[in-house]
Amino acid sequence: SQTIHQWPATLVQPVGSPLSLECTVEGTSNPNLYWYRQAAGRGLQLLFYSVGIGQISSEVPQNLSASRPQDRQFILSSKKLLLSDSGFYLCAWSVGGTGEQYFGPGTRLTVT
Amino acid sequence: RKEVEQDPGPFNVPEGATVAFNCTYSNSASQSFFWYRQDCRKEPKLLMSVYSSGNEDGRFTAQLNRASQYISLLIRDSKLSDSATYLCVVNFRNDYKLSFGAGTTVTVRA
């Protein structure tokens, strides 16, 4: 069966500090991978998605970036965090474009 | 106008009651539809897909009305464990990108 891991679970970072969140998927090959952010009381906002190694599509221009160095690894980064980057960051995977996506446990980021 | 809109609730219902709520979407060319469930401070999980003819999964019934551009979810015989936020999700182009509503909160009380 497939599993998806994210770490860390919670993170408190000062404004201007860098960020690196990692997501890995097990039990499947060549998954589509996604990064979402959920602000308090808001819907999920798609940040990035990837359909293959080294291929990244950005949905929202901001100070975040993503990379996919391996088939089942997806990394979200920032060089300098803003207060507005606080939120619940979720990684997800899917097979093809079926619309059924499976989420990791998420990282709750607070920028102070 | 938001792509997917939901009544945020909360819907407070007693155990055993039936609760139903809708979601509207803006793009008439939308291809596929889903309900996800999100528990407090947890990740969303797929509850069920929504098919054109409507479908049931146990106590849950989903309906799609393309003419009026809404989908609905009905929960029968509510359990305490049904307390959650229900996210309406639409795939506009049958591609990789989903649009999520902000969710409808349901609280089932003993």
Distance in angstroms (rounded) separating the CA atoms of residues B54 and B63? 4
Tally of CA atoms within 13 A in the half-sphere of B47 that contains its CB: 28
Distance in angstroms (rounded) separating the CA atoms of residues B5 and A13? 33
- DSSP helix/strand/coil, A18: coil
Q: Nearest-CA residue of chain A relative to B88? A: A43
- DSSP helix/strand/coil, B62: strand
pLDDT tens digit sequence for A18-55:
999 999 999 998 999 999 999 877 889 999 999 999 89
> Which residues in chain A are closer than 8 Å to B96, comparing Cβ atoms?
32, 34, 49, 51, 94, 97
pLDDT tens digit sequence for A50-71:
999 989 998 886 789 999 999 9
Local mean pLDDT, 10-residue blocks, chain B (110 residues)? 88 97 91 94 94 93 95 98 96 80 96
Burial of B96 (0-12, 13-18, 19+ CB in 10 A): buried
pLDDT of A61: 65
- B100 contacts A44? CB cut-off 8 A: yes
